[in-house]
Amino acid sequence: MNRGGIYVVNLVEAMAGATATKAARKDAAKRLRFSSSQAGTLALALKEDSQDFFYSACMTLVDGLRGLHCGFYTWATVKLYYSVFYSLRAWLAAEGVCSFYLHTSPFSVEAAAGAIGVAGKGTTHVHVQSLFARRNPQHRFVAQTIDQVMALDWLTQRREDSNYKTPRFSEPIAPRHFNEVEKYGIRRCVAAYLADTTDVYTFDKDHAMLALPLKVIGEAVAVVRGSGAVRFAHNELSMLSSSCCDDAGPIAQMATMFKTFA
- What region, left, alpha or beta, does residue 228 occupy, with left being phi > 0 and alpha being psi -120 to 50 degrees? left
The separation between CA 3 and the C-alpha centre of its own chain, rounded to angstroms, equals 17
Three-state secondary structure readout of 173-228: CCCHHHHHHHHHCHHHHHHHHHHCCCCCCCCCCCCHHHHHHHHHHHHHHHHHHHCC
Give pLDDT, residue 143.
Answer: 97
Task: Output the pTM of the full model.
Answer: 0.94
Would you write out the chain's pLDDT as a tens digit for each of its 262 residues?
899 999 999 999 888 886 778 888 888 888 888 999 999 999 999 999 999 999 999 999 999 999 999 999 999 999 999 999 999 999 999 999 999 998 888 999 999 999 988 999 999 999 999 999 999 999 999 999 999 999 999 999 999 999 888 889 999 999 999 999 999 999 999 999 999 999 999 999 999 999 999 999 999 999 999 888 788 889 999 999 999 999 999 999 999 998 888 6
CA distance 49 to 46: 5
